Structure 1
């Protein structure tokens, strides 16, 4: 539910350079997260090995820098949906990286979810006309999907790292983004509307969502979570359309049915029989 608002809020902050937006969003998430961790007396949870920091900071910073760049360069609806290849990649990578069995029922659920996203992506009326920077934007969206899938699946191998450490990862991601912004971008003073969007990003899809996702990937079934995550691009696309960022079409309704059906198949799959 939180990630369904990510694209809409990112569009609400449109005009801010990608690294600046990443730094501001993660800065807010870090301040709030570290405050909660400190109040719980868990600051020692930030003491993690270098591999954990490389995984956490690289995943959070890399994904969002690529995602915000994609939305800035390419039509919002199409870039957003291409980014949502990550649920498919999570399910597929669970087999080689975690040794988890997929099975025909779960694979069928993944295929239905992917088909729903593909219908939306191929709907020419879904988004605005593509500009000359669109190919680079689409490439950033695809790269973002791969980065987030790897981050999510590999989190299972780092299950001993407490979720409180995510607050430190957010702080480091904010610092890296700020340095990249100062080195490669021109600063833009946010308007009141942009500040509101940034605040909501830091509270929700760039804040609380990561702590919840960390718990889910470490304690839940990544195959099921990856399949159910196909509900996010549908909800996200609907929000973009309602906000005037795209046009409603029959493909959205069909995609919703495909995603819901795929999620039900995956949810009822058994490890023994697929």
Structure 2
């Protein structure tokens, strides 16, 4: 396979994984609470990332300065601890067809936070993109009844949007992180794990020995929190090569994910997808695409 074909294969593999995780979240949360799920999945993820580094012969990347360890620990508070605790709670309160598109607005949130935190400026096209995306949020959250502004679950909607802020802060923080990305993610999860365990013991209890719940957590830890990240990095690295076809081509694959996700939610989570969800998601994706084009200009 050429570099272009490999980049496309890894990119599509990542999108396929991302498309299944909303369904996995919702099904697994019917067997354990959000903190229990986070504890199990994070344990799996940190183990997997360590194995990946060992298999790739990159354990030397784990050697860092004290300052870099401290920075990775700080980022670990954001992800996995706060981000997934908030996101899983949102999925616990909302139908998956609502939580997933709302979480997809993180790229818009990233653009907004880049103004005060990175000193960037938004042009008119980017501001229009933000309005289009958040109109989609309103359509989904109110089931299309915009005049009432009554949310089906206000707390769930708020948590889903807060998760986008945490995720955006994590990636902005990563712009200043100079360590190997997989090693950095490994330490994020490693340093975040004690916080997750403490929160689970304080606010909940250790996960039940439920086969369905544990298998779901295993899937989420392996794919959502581990393999998808490595696949995406590999796809972008291959696409950046002279014959790779360009990273923009691979990055655009992300827009397939939320629509595929609705198929899996309908098929396996048993939710009937509302028309308002399709319409709202179309606005959110259109806003993301407009933001991408306006940013280039």
Secondary structure at the counterpart of residue 181 of structure 2: coil
What is the 5 A alignment of 1:71-220?
Answer: 71-123=91-143, 134-158=153-177, 160-165=178-183, 166-211=185-230
Aligned to 2:27: 12
Aligned to 2:246: none
Distance 1:112 1:150 in 2: 22
Going from structure 1 to structure 2, the CA distance change for 1:228 and 1:76 (only over 3 Å counts) comes to same
Aligned to 1:268: 293
Going from structure 1 to structure 2, the CA distance change for 1:215 and 1:87 (only over 3 Å counts) comes to farther
Going from structure 1 to structure 2, the CA distance change for 1:37 and 1:205 (only over 3 Å counts) comes to same
Q: Which runs of 5+ in 2 are unaligned?
A: 1-14, 146-150, 241-249
Give the number of aligned pairs. Answer: 263
Distance 1:248 1:192 in 2: 28
Equivalent residues of 1:23, 1:173 under 8 A apart: no
Give the deviation of 1:11 after TM superposition.
1.3
CA distances 1:51-70 after superposition (whole Å, capped 9, x unpaired): 23202343321100111122
Secondary structure at the counterpart of residue 32 of structure 2: coil
CA distances 1:214-251 after superposition (whole Å, capped 9, x unpaired): 7899xx9xxxx999866654543443233345322333
Distance 2:269 2:44 in 1: 27
Aligned to 1:249: 274
Distance 2:254 2:113 in 1: 15
Q: Which runs of 5+ in 1 are unaligned?
A: none
Does 2:50 correspond to 1:26? no
Give the deviation of 1:9 after TM superposition.
0.6
Aligned to 1:68: 88
Secondary structure at the counterpart of residue 189 of structure 1: coil
Aligned to 1:3: 18
Question: TM-score, normalising length from structure 2?
Answer: 0.72
Distance 1:111 1:228 in 2: 23
Distance 1:238 1:164 in 2: 31
Going from structure 1 to structure 2, the CA distance change for 1:25 and 1:233 (only over 3 Å counts) comes to same
Aligned to 1:42: 58
Q: More displaced, 193-202 or 179-188?
A: 179-188
Question: TM-score, normalising length from structure 1?
Answer: 0.77
Going from structure 1 to structure 2, the CA distance change for 1:226 and 1:137 (only over 3 Å counts) comes to farther
